[in-house]
């Protein structure tokens, strides 16, 4: 990216000046090296997002931002329904409510290392992964609608997961306002056999070792200590979310002119929040959120079963589950006034600071866990939200490292067999049904996650708590 087009506000905060066409400026939270590495499309897409009706504050990009569909991945924008604000399917993304959850195991690294290969095999056999993977559940029409309305709460009621998990999930495991009637039969059919599956792409199930602590108080509150073993699950709403996004993007693009909306980019198709179409999308999207929450809850149940085969004494309570492809109705302070906004976070994580009333009581003093995923051979991080995040980027932070090259480029540079062998030499076991998928997700195809986390912390979006490294990775 050409830095000459930006105004430097600090070493980790850069502004795109507001042009005549823009309703607000653009803001990028990144170090200079990360900015230089970003493609120019991020700049162009932020400028376009800043032109949408009812946008408030600024169009924001996180340190891991890269080109996406309409919105950049790592994009954050808030819209006021009282000012003609819109909802954009491209501002949520196709994998609705894709997110990360982190489980404790109560086990130490040496215990797991002794059973590493056996545990990898048990997890691989227990949790379906890969493009088009199918689970053991087959949902009837009634069960599908119940799941779309109930989310993780539905999963727990069906015997998948534990009631205690719900206190550690966004929205207590169920997003209110879901409307299954707004979700097409095609979307439901795609999802009927996919509950409890990882899918493909950058999704994974990782067994990880805590290798560093940066904030003792927050780490103690989160239950993180050196050499402990944790499990990280990264996936979303699978085929259902993709189908919802595809269908509503078409409807929004066709209807834009009827709403008097001039789109700077067709991929930014949107609808007024108070319109029939806008409300229909919100109802469908919330069903997609519930699908993702239920999916991760079922995978958690399957993970616990796999661990029980080798470690019957182990318990796997949930630390936290947070999504990074959503549009949420939230209250935020704008120029000293509380306003009801609809915050789009695409490839960006909600990051509530200390004292937020919706956080579990035992986490409230230190802030929300922010889970930053790596990819197979790279570190993952646990951060904590900070109070200043509200005024900066609507209580948001990054969600991962962000790609530095396309999947196609990655497959030209790496072979799946070689990636797996290289990681095995480093003590990391990778199991995947797709060697091509492994090549696409080669660690070096991503930015340095440590640089991204460092930028997020210096920008005041969140603070580092702990670093984890993979032992086992189940990839789609």
Which residues are catalytically annotated? 399
Catalogue the E-assigned strands of 121-256.
204-213, 228-235
Beta bridge partners of 333: 338
Q: Which two tokens stand for residue 174?
A: 């169920």
HSE on the CB side for 222, CA within 13 Å? 34
Asked if 168 and 364 count as a contact pair (C-beta separation under 8 A), the reply is no
d(CA 382, CA 228) in angstroms, rounded, equals 14
The structure tokens listed for 99 are: 């997110």
Q: Over the range 119-142, which residues count as b (16 or more CB within 10 Å of their CB) and which as e?
A: bbbbbbebbbbbeebebebebeee
Q: Are 476 and 201 in contact (CB under 8 A)?
A: yes
CB 338 within 8 A of CB 331: yes
Instruction: Please measure the distance between the N-terminal and C-terminal CA atoms of the chain and give it in whole angstroms.
Output: 32
Tell me the angle at which helices 238-255 and 276-310 cross, rounded to the nearest 10 degrees: 170
The CA-atom distances, in angstroms, between 221 and each of 158, 293, 384, 460 are 30, 24, 11, 21
Q: Cα 80 to the chain's mean position, in Å? A: 23
CA–CA separation, 235 vs 474, rounded Å?
12
To 10 degrees, what angle do helices 141-157 and 276-310 make? 50
Residue 60 near residue 332, CB atoms below 8 Å = no
């Amino acid at each position: 990216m050409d830095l000459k087009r930006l105004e430097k506000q600090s070493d980790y905060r850069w502004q795109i000046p507001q042009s005549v066409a823009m309703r607000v400026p653009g803001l990028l939270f990144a170090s200079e090296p990360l900015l230089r590495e970003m493609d120019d499309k991020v700049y162009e897409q932020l400028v376009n997002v800043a032109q949408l009706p009812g946008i408030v504050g600024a169009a924001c990009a996180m340190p891991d931002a890269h080109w996406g569909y309409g919105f950049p991945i790592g994009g954050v924008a808030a819209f006021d329904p009282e000012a003609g604000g819109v909802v954009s399917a491209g501002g949520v993304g196709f994998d609705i409510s894709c997110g990360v959850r982190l489980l404790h195991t109560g086990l130490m690294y040496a215990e797991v290392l002794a059973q590493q290969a056996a545990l990898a095999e048990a997890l691989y056999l227990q949790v379906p992964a890969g493009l088009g993977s199918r689970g053991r559940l087959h949902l009837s029409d009634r069960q599908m609608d119940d799941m779309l309305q109930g989310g993780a709460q539905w999963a727990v009621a069906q015997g998948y997961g534990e009631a205690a998990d719900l206190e550690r999930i966004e929205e207590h495991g169920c997003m209110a306002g879901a409307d299954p009637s707004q979700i097409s039969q095609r979307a439901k059919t795609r999802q009927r056999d996919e509950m409890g599956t990882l899918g493909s792409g950058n999704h994974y199930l990782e067994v990880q070792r805590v290798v560093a602590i940066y904030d003792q108080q927050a780490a103690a509150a989160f239950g993180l200590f050196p050499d402990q073993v944790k499990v990280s699950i990264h996936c979303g709403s699978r085929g259902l979310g993709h189908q919802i996004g595809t269908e509503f993007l078409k409807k929004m693009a066709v209807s834009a002119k009827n709403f008097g909306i001039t789109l700077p980019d067709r991929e930014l198709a949107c609808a007024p929040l108070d319109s029939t179409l806008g409300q229909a999308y919100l109802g469908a999207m919330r069903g997609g959120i519930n699908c993702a929450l239920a999916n991760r809850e079922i995978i958690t149940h399957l993970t616990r079963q796999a661990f029980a085969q080798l470690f019957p004494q182990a318990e796997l309570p949930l630390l936290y589950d947070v999504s990074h492809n959503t549009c949420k109705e939230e209250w935020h302070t704008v120029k000293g006034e509380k306003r009801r906004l609809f915050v789009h976070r695409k490839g960006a994580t909600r990051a509530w600071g200390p004292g937020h009333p919706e956080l579990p009581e035992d986490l409230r003093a230190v802030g929300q866990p922010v889970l930053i995923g790596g990819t197979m051979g790279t570190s993952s991080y646990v951060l904590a939200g900070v109070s200043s995040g509200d005024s900066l980027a609507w209580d948001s932070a990054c969600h991962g490292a962000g790609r530095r090259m396309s999947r196609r480029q990655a497959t030209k540079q790496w072979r799946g067999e070689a990636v797996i062998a290289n990681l095995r030499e480093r003590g990391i076991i990778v199991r995947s049904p797709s060697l091509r998928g492994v090549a696409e997700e080669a660690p070096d195809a991503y930015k340095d996650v440590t640089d991204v986390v460092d930028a997020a912390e210096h920008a005041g979006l969140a603070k580092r708590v702990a670093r984890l490294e993979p032992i086992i990775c189940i990839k789609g």
